[in-house]
Structure 1
Amino acid sequence: MNWAARVIGGRFHYGWLAVAVVFLVLLAAAGTRATPSVMMVPLEHDFGWSRATISLAISVNIALYGLMGPFAAAAMQRFGVRPTILTALGTMAAGVGLSSLMAHPWQMILVWGVMVGGATGVAALTLSATVVNRWFTTHRGLVMGILTASSATGQLVFLPLLAAIAQHHGWRPVVWTVAIAAAVVLPLVAFLLPERPADMALRPFGEPADAPIRSDVSNRNPLAIAFGTLAMASKTRDFWLLFFSFFICGASTNGYVGTHLIAMCGDYGMTEVQGASLLAAMGIFDLFGTTLSGWLSDRFNARVLLFWYYGLRGLSLMYLPHAFGIDFFGLPLFAVFYGLDWIATVPPTVRLATDVYGKESAPVVFGWVVAGHQLGAAFAALGAGMLRASLGTYTVASMISGGLCIVASIIVLRINRAERSVAAQAV
């Protein structure tokens, strides 16, 4: 990696190359996470599994994806980013490849739920927070927005292709394609991703020239780091406000729309490719929306941004059941409105976590907050599947999801309010 530093030295900071590598890792993980939604209908046809059964495996995947976050962040502190990510990518590729042999629901739960869910949980938002806090002192919101947008780009790249493969060739070629994509990223991480700027004799981007070059590495056990940080953060009100608002964020995005939108489109006579194309279109708008959200997070009050993000998302979800009945402006309007807002909540949430808990503890705290996000997503994935199985429609699930977002828009206004009283005391 020193040769890479010499090649680009004097042109731009190596941190931007580290961001590019992590972007590709997150893109591959996003494509992997999106795959079960493409496989839902083919598996239903091939094996006769109900949507509730398939949703159970997806909910396990989503829950483990979130629960791995704080332990992944702690492992990166103890063992390093590169070894942790290489292990996760290898496990992800192997698990996805093995799923081509499954023939029973318990096998899908074991492989896609446990194995793939745990691996994708390492290559997730906590990785972004760790890299941003290590490599950047300025522009953190913008970089976090770019990395978060990789999830949208993953959908943009993978979903239409995977849906077309599933429609014409079945679900097994889909998992082979995803496994290969995960394996391709491995050498990029191995050769181009340093642990921290000090390994390249650099300071974080934006750090003053006279600042010391830090190369601190924790020798604590990852479990001690993860649970110790949880014990510290859980005693504060801000942690629970972040946790429950992000629980609702997960329920209204990955859990509901990300899992069930393609199947919902099928209920209205649309093909899998059309449903996947709608998700991909939303991914395009989210790429811009989340990047813009990162830029805004560097300049405006994060609480106010989150208020508008959650409120507008709630309104768009309440509009969704009606969108299918409007010929021209229905679904395109939802795709634009919801897409711009999909995961725009991440940069301001990371900003609040960093402001409250500091840049060293923030990635692990954010990992626990992401666990809440994915628990909410698991709740919505399973709950929406059960509501669809019993009612024959997703309308009630849409209304519940939209109502929860309105609640979240009120919750976030209370986060980090202590800063005003502290400032008043200082004056």
Structure 2
Amino acid sequence: MAEITAAARKPLFYYGWVIVALGFVTLGTAFGVWYSFSVFILAIINEFQWSRAAASSIFSTFIFAQALMNPVTGYLQDRFGPRVIIPVGTLVVALALFLTSHAQSLWHFNLAYGVLAGAGISLMGFASHAAFIPKWFERKRGLALGITMAGIGFGMLFLIPLVERWISSFGWRTTYLYLALMVLVALGPLNLLLSRRSPQDLNLLPDGDSDPDAPDNGRPAPTMRLTVVDPQWAARSWTLGAALGTQRFWLLFLAFFCMAFSYQGILLHAVSAMVDQGLTRETAAYFFGILGIAGSGGKILFGYLSDLFGRERTVTLAGGIACIGILCLMFAGNAPSLLPLLFALLFGLGYGAAAPLLPSMCADIFLSKAFGLIFATIAIGGGMGGATGAYMAGLLRDVSNTYTTPMVVFIALLLLSCVLIRLAAPGQVRRMVRLKPQHEKEAP
């Protein structure tokens, strides 16, 4: 009697979507911790009377530490998988937040939140999930990454206003203790129980497809297929060393730098910029929450569109929308109800594209057994850019007493990142193509 492999028996529900849902929750919490510093920074400045540049240096240290940790995270994910690495990350982050709650000087903050929390967020955050989520999907890679990364926006929507209320009611030190408990209790056990490295761990194929040699049992055929445009490039067994020797690697590295410079600078200083223009801190936090949910929509929308129309076109469209949002923030005080809302919606929507598109583009070019390490090394560019942008905006604000100059720089570098991605041309290696309907194939 012929044996039917587990891969040939397509389940009714593909486990990859469980991985997506788990990543949604994990990233929502991790980035709630990340971006909540935009609210903590005002309370910390009020207590210690530091300059904005000095307080911003804590966030810059955080971004730089997680960026330097990313290659280690990618290597560990390639070797051990998320069931080990993400729970370890939750332990590190919880410890870091506990120590931050007891910080008494700038170097305490830089060590506890900057270095230790940055390393822990790397283990449980963006680079960690980007190392294994693309392995679960091919045809729906952009959409799946978009839904996963949409958790970032929901974390911003719910956690940032919640953190603001906790700070107002209990103080920033107690709030950090609450966040530490949330990370430890909610995320560690879930990932230990449910997470898996790849569909092969469960004898499945990407996208939940059936074995191509097995009967299709009447299931509808896919309408899109991932096509290799450059077989010679795609067939290489990519290692980090080989990727470092390519122009595409450095174009993506620079694109990540420019994009993160703009996005992280805006995200850290958006609340402060709105407060400078006359909004209350509570109102600014509310708009920041709207930015988060708009970002979730952008992640799903642009992730899906990138599967249909290509990564390059989609990232350019999203970047243009984000730039219009930054212009709204620059003049928010002129219409304090309308323009902050437009900033939150437009910038959030455009910024949201970065999370699903960056790993998708890297996977289109460098997908291999060493992909986690390769992507994480490219992401160092993002960490360097984010750290520089966050600090630069604070420094220029101290010098000029306005955020106008850094906002102009953010727009220029964001547009440059779109050009660099077009030059890297992931669509010239792999891209989605629409398949002809079966009746058209059979027509004479």
Alignment TM class, shorter chain as reference: 0.7 to 0.9
Contact residue 83 and residue 194 of structure 2 kept, 8 A: no
Pick the aligned partner of 2:401 from 392, 415, 420: 392
User: Residue 117 of structure 1 aligns to a residue in which SS?
Assistant: helix
- Once the two structures are TM-superposed, the CA of residue 264 in structure 1 deviates from its matched residue by 1.7
Higher helix share: 1
Matched residue of 1:360: which SS? Answer: coil
Structure 2 SS opposite 1:324: helix
The yes-or-no answer on 1:251 pairing with 2:252 is no
Report the 3-state secondary structure (helix = DSSP H, G, I; strand = E; otherwise coil) of the residue aligned with 2:54.
Answer: helix
Cα separation, 2, equivalents of 1:135 and 1:310: 27
The Cα of 1:381 is off from its aligned counterpart by 0.8
TM-score, reference length from structure 2: 0.84
Percent identical: 28
CA shift in 2, pair 1:189/1:31, >3 Å? same
Alignment match of 2:308 (pick from 292, 299, 310): 299
Following the alignment from structure 1 to structure 2, what is the Cα–Cα distance between the partners of residues 385 and 328? 25
Q: Which runs of 5+ in 1 are unaligned?
A: 213-227, 421-427
Residue in 1 that maps onto 2:195: 193
Q: Which residue of 1 aligns with 2:180?
A: 179
| Structure 2 residue corresponding to 1:231, chosen from 237, 241, 244 | 241
Task: Name the Cα RMSD after superposition.
Answer: 2.2
Match of 2:334? Answer: 325
- Kept in 2, the 8 Å contact 1:69–1:124? The answer is no
- Supply the distance in 1 between the matched residues of 2:321 and 2:301 (Cα, whole angstroms): 16
Q: Structure 1 residue 62: deviation in Å?
A: 0.8
**1:137 is aligned with what amino acid?**
E
Q: CA 1:357/1:198 → structure 2, altered by over 3 Å: closer, same or farther?
A: closer
Partner of 1:364: 373
Structure 2 counterpart of 1:219 = none
Q: Give, in angstroms, the shift of residue 417 of structure 1.
A: 7.2
Residues 350-390 of structure 1 show CA distances to partners (whole Å, capped at 9, x for unaligned) of 23222221243433322122221121110011111111111
Instruction: Please tell me whether residue 29 in structure 1 is matched to residue 30 in structure 2.
Output: yes
Alpha-carbon contact 2:122-2:128 (below 8 Å) kept: no
For residues 46-195 of structure 1, the aligned pairs below 5 Å read: 46-183=47-184, 184-195=186-197
In structure 1, distance between residues paired with 2:139 and 2:178: 38
Going from structure 1 to structure 2, the CA distance change for 1:191 and 1:211 (only over 3 Å counts) comes to farther
- The residue type equivalent to 2:413 in the other structure is L
Task: For residue 308 of structure 1, report the CA deviation from its aligned partner.
Answer: 2.0
Q: Which has the larger radius of gyration?
A: 2
Distance 2:299 2:23 in 1: 16
Cross-structure match for 1:402? 411
Does 2:251 align with 1:241?
yes
What is the CA–CA distance in structure 1 between the aligned matches of 2:331 and 2:121, rounded to whole Å?
A: 34
Instruction: Tell me if the contact between 2:361 and 2:426 (Cα under 8 Å) persists in the aligned partners.
Output: no
Match of 1:17 in 2: 18
Task: Indicate if the aligned counterparts of 1:128 and 1:144 stay in contact, CA closer than 8 A.
Answer: no
2: CA distance, partners of 1:211 / 1:116: 48
Taking a change above 3 Å as real, the CA distance of residues 163 and 211 of structure 1, as seen in their structure-2 partners, is farther
Separation in 1, partners of 2:426, 2:359: 16
Correspondence for 1:269: 278
Aligned length: 397
- Matches of 1:186 and 1:22, distance apart in 2: 12
**Conserved in 1, the CA contact under 8 Å of 2:296 and 2:352?**
no
Give the deviation of 1:182 after TM superposition: 0.5
Tell me what 1:375 maps to: 384
Decide whether the 8 Å contact of 2:257 with 2:381 is kept in 1: yes
Structure 2 counterpart of 1:222: none
- Distance, in Å, in 1 between the alignment partners of 2:272 and 2:102 is 24
Q: Give the deviation of 1:15 after TM superposition.
A: 1.8
Cα separation, 1, equivalents of 2:105 and 2:122: 24
Greater alpha carbon shift after TM alignment, 22-31 vs 264-273? 264-273
Structure 1 residues 19 and 40, CA gap change in structure 2 (3 angstroms): same
Distance 2:20 2:427 in 1: 33
Partner amino acid for 1:199?
D
- State the distance in 2 between where 1:236 and 1:279 align: 39
